[in-house]
Structure 1
Amino acid sequence: MPTSRRALAAAAAIAVLLPLSACGSGGDDSASTDASGKIEGNITFQTWNLRANFKPYFDGLVKDFEKKYPGTHVKWIDQPGEGYADKISADAAGGTLPDVVNVSPDLVAPLAKAGLALDLDKAAPKYGKEYLPGAWASHQIPGMDGTYAFPWYLNTGPLFYNKTLFRKAGLDDSKPPKTYDALFTDALQLAKKSKGKVATLANVPTIEDFGRYGAPLMNKQGTGFAFNDAKGVELLTKYKELYDAKALDPQALTATPESTGKKFLTGAVAMNPGSALDLQKFKKDAPSLYKNIGITDQITSTGKVNMYVMGVMVNSRTKQKPAAVAFAHYVTDAQHQMEFAKKVAIFPSTAGSLDDPYFTQQDGSDETRVRIAAADSLKNAVNYTPVLFSEQMKNELRNSVAKALQGKESPKTALDNAVKACDRLLQQQG
């Protein structure tokens, strides 16, 4: 579940501009942020492709909430993963948006701009301290004040590395690179020692890499992108050096998770992101690799790794604000996030939850090794992908990076062009 949901969240974007006059299911045109009052009434709760695997969990969650708050009734709706963004967009424009909605940050942005997402900093400020700071901030919109969804579950991925390849290159296999500077140094040495046969990486830099390197991604007003500054140009220049030295896999421009996984499996690539499922595959298909697998954090020069986050938004137009806010908080509080995390490989966004023994104590299993490594890195992680960065923008950046790596444009020109294209798309969003 986490991998597919994570990929889907990254790809989803509401394509049409929602009219500011759009009205949610409640029809409360004032869209007041006042969520005080008695917790009662009927509300709808919409999730994103969760019914098939987790129906008993959510049935129990709803039942327990209704028991805790007599006089409430929650109707649970689950939508398929495909077309979810379009469904939300249509409901928002048509005034049929559910009271409580499972969202990712990129889905919140247009709803918040349209006045359809409740500002929790005004409606429920007391809850902010219950969550990890980076998670609470993940549903904030550049250029707008406020937080527009409760953070729900998190995900991230540790980095695997091949200790044998590190040793052969004369590197200390107990000290994998942690920063980009260390990564670039080690990658060039691996390529040189292997005469270009071993690349360290198999993926071109994404917007998250620019963030982890320390480049500003947007201006503070949220009106334009900024990853073409000196820091961003420096990162792409370094990647160009890796590409020319074959320290970056020659096929990185067209890489997929499947293709990079195969290259890591065969020893053509020294480092690759992965999961517990990958470890199990290595154990079965490549036992010699499995015995020499190292697990480390994502590369970052900011000290903070990237997180993927899901959220629970309250429709600002709901007629039952007290109940809707109470239920959204109930779904995402520490107790219920912990219960959900033990049913599926995700991580709670609530403060202190990652210190639970479930995320800190080894039991010798591959699943636990990966879970503990990921949980530790999430405590101060941030969502580097700007909430306004659409799939089209990702394509523009990807194409510009390719031109720079191939020598068709300088890194500076390539990033300047990418920023211009992304700014143009941003203006089209409104």
Structure 2
Amino acid sequence: MKAARRFLQLAIVASLLGMTSASWAATDIMWWHAMSGELGKQVEKLATDFNASQSEYRIVPSYKGNYTETVTAAIFAFRSRSQPAIVQVNEIATATMTAAKGAIYPVFELMRDQGEPFTPEAYLPAVAGYYLDASGNMLSFPFNVSTPILYYNKTLFRGAGLDPEKPPKTWAEVGADGARLRAAGAACGFTTSWPSWINVENFSAFHNLPISTRANGFGGIDAVLTFNNPVVVRHIAQLAEWQAKKIFDYSGRAQSAEPRFENGECGIFVGSSATRADIKAYSKFEVGYGMMPYWDDVPGAPQNSIIGGATLWVLRDRPSEEYRGVAKFFAFLSKPEVQAAWHQNTGYLPITRAAYELTRSQGFYDANPGAAISIEQITLHPPTENSKGIRLGSMVLIRDAIEDELEQAFGAKKPAQAALDSAVERGNRLLRQFERASPDR
């Protein structure tokens, strides 16, 4: 009988211990992202470091494919109420996410509700501006941020009789240097990646030209595209003319141009600052760096470039305990030492001034030439309505339309003006479809 009572007592104690242990278990917070390879490892490190810094919450990263696949997965999950608390979304989908008001928990509200410090003024203006609403409130959390910069092959420059310490600053200089490189035997003078992002979107911002009316869409969903202006038309026409002699050589969409620079085919490359680490690792020559080129006869140029990359959105209808953890995670990500390490390990920009200053004080920029160019470029001047970013609905589809038409121009199938007129017409149809479907209509 005593043995039975003893067994019962032990069972009750074990049960109570189990209940206590369960109450101490960390709250899991799902984070769906689109970072693979080395970048995915850095995402895992961020989660691991945060999890180790406290015991209440556990960030659980999950790779869901590219940006489109990740957002699509989150949308389907929301319909079945299995959505993550955090999802990574690329910057050009900001307007689409903003329109989904019932599904998103704006970051400024989250941080306010949870009592975590959060001031947009702490972030680089060209970064914060992309994700602010009309009242200056931040809707999502800036995460991986990049901007286009110029890379050049110092070995090919020497072989062509060019100064290896002098990157071309203007498009005219890029064309002249490209011609010299071709004459010296290079397969192509220069190329660019992400055709629309670099040659239309960032080109316009750097020349302080609008992409559309309504402050590039920040002023309302009834924006109308206007990038078929004389300056952009001249630029695309010049690229098409250079294409004929492979002074410029179109290499395709997204990042397909990058390997052509790394293997020494093209002497100059304009691409994302976030590819700097890969270019340095895979190129068998000394790499030089410069700011994105500009046409020096355009008033106001150079202005500042705009960002690419992605941001972290918080989704509604998760348990309140998870939101307390998300707010603490975002506060962790904002720490200067965390941001500085992310910047230095990935090539993405630091999102805060403090992280930039810390990186500089650590001597990183002195030891890594070219690493500061992206920050210098996006902070070159205070952003204007034309250079703080783009907030247009269906921008992913609009970018596809632009690149369809750029390929027509580069392939000599359409004059630059006709190609850009068609891109604007197609893009405006997409904008009107988005406007009709928007709850703000």
Could you state the TM-score of these two structures normalised by the residue count of structure 1? 0.71
* Residue 5 of structure 1: aligned partner: none
User: Which deviations, in whole Å up to 9, do the C-alpha atoms of 1:252-276 show, x marking residues without a partner?
Assistant: 2547745653366345544454523
Contact 1:361–1:372 at 8 Å: present in 2 too? Answer: no
Q: Does 1:208 align with 2:202?
A: no
SS at match of 2:289: strand
Task: Quickly say closer, same or farther: Cα 1:123–1:187, change in 2 above 3 A.
Answer: same
- Displacement of 1:237 after TM fit? 1.8
* Residue 74 of structure 2: aligned partner: 88
* Residue 346 of structure 1: aligned partner: 348
Q: How does 1:22-171 map to 2 (within 5 A)?
A: 44-48=29-33, 53=41, 54-55=43-44, 57-66=46-55, 73-74=57-58, 76-82=60-66, 83-115=69-101, 116-120=103-107, 126-140=118-132, 146-156=137-147, 158-166=149-157, 171=162
Task: Quickly say closer, same or farther: Cα 1:205–1:325, change in 2 above 3 A.
Answer: same
Mapped partners of 1:268, 1:73: distance in 2: 48
Q: Structure 2, unaligned stretches of length 5 or more?
A: 1-25, 113-117, 215-219, 295-300
SS at match of 1:151: strand
Question: Residue type of the partner of 1:262?
Answer: R
Contact 1:156–1:307 at 8 Å: present in 2 too? Answer: yes
2:407 to 353, 378, 402: 402
Mapped partners of 2:169, 2:430: distance in 1: 34
Task: Quickly say closer, same or farther: Cα 1:399–1:406, change in 2 above 3 A.
Answer: same
Q: How does 1:286-301 map to 2 (within 5 A)?
A: 290-291=285-286, 293-300=287-294, 301=301
Mapped partners of 2:365, 2:92: distance in 1: 37
Q: Structure 1, unaligned stretches of length 5 or more?
A: 1-40, 67-71, 284-289
Contact 1:151–1:312 at 8 Å: present in 2 too? Answer: yes
Contact 2:47–2:59 at 8 Å: present in 1 too? Answer: no
Mapped partners of 2:62, 2:188: distance in 1: 45
Contact 1:154–1:347 at 8 Å: present in 2 too? Answer: yes
Contact 1:243–1:405 at 8 Å: present in 2 too? Answer: yes
Deviates more, 1:381-390 or 1:147-156: 381-390
Q: Does 1:242 align with 2:242?
A: yes
Q: Does 1:276 align with 2:264?
A: no
Task: Quickly say closer, same or farther: Cα 1:341–1:156, change in 2 above 3 A.
Answer: same
Task: Quickly say closer, same or farther: Cα 1:357–1:167, change in 2 above 3 A.
Answer: same
Q: How does 1:173-252 map to 2 (within 5 A)?
A: 173-188=164-179, 190-191=181-182, 193-194=183-184, 198-201=188-191, 205-213=195-203, 214=207, 215-220=209-214, 221-222=220-221, 223-249=223-249, 252=250
- Displacement of 1:61 after TM fit? 0.8
Rg larger for: 2
Q: Does 1:423 align with 2:428?
A: yes
Q: How does 1:268-417 map to 2 (within 5 A)?
A: 268-271=266-269, 273=271, 275-283=276-284, 290-291=285-286, 293-300=287-294, 301-316=301-316, 320=320, 324-341=326-343, 344-357=346-359, 361=363, 368-377=368-377, 379=379, 388=393, 390-417=395-422
Contact 2:191–2:266 at 8 Å: present in 1 too? Answer: no
Task: Quickly say closer, same or farther: Cα 1:269–1:385, change in 2 above 3 A.
Answer: farther
Mapped partners of 2:262, 2:63: distance in 1: 36
Q: What number of residue pairs does the alignment pair up?
A: 372
* Residue 9 of structure 1: aligned partner: none
- Displacement of 1:383 after TM fit? 7.5
Mapped partners of 2:126, 2:189: distance in 1: 33
Mapped partners of 1:281, 1:73: distance in 2: 38
Task: Quickly say closer, same or farther: Cα 1:150–1:391, change in 2 above 3 A.
Answer: closer
- Displacement of 1:415 after TM fit? 0.7
Mapped partners of 1:339, 1:266: distance in 2: 30
Mapped partners of 2:353, 2:99: distance in 1: 28
* Residue 18 of structure 1: aligned partner: none
The RMSD of aligned alpha carbons is 3.9
Mapped partners of 1:326, 1:384: distance in 2: 28
* Residue 30 of structure 1: aligned partner: none
Question: Residue type of the partner of 1:183?
Answer: V
Mapped partners of 2:61, 2:251: distance in 1: 40
User: Which deviations, in whole Å up to 9, do the C-alpha atoms of 1:19-69 show, x marking residues without a partner?
Assistant: xxxxxxxxxxxxxxxxxxxxxx96734141569735454134135355xxx
Mapped partners of 1:399, 1:177: distance in 2: 28
Task: Quickly say closer, same or farther: Cα 1:108–1:295, change in 2 above 3 A.
Answer: closer
Task: Quickly say closer, same or farther: Cα 1:354–1:387, change in 2 above 3 A.
Answer: farther
Contact 1:161–1:271 at 8 Å: present in 2 too? Answer: yes
Contact 1:276–1:370 at 8 Å: present in 2 too? Answer: no
Contact 1:308–1:383 at 8 Å: present in 2 too? Answer: no
SS at match of 1:216: coil
Mapped partners of 1:79, 1:198: distance in 2: 36
Question: Residue type of the partner of 1:103?
Answer: V
* Residue 115 of structure 2: aligned partner: none
SS at match of 2:352: coil
Contact 2:187–2:265 at 8 Å: present in 1 too? Answer: no
Contact 2:211–2:226 at 8 Å: present in 1 too? Answer: yes
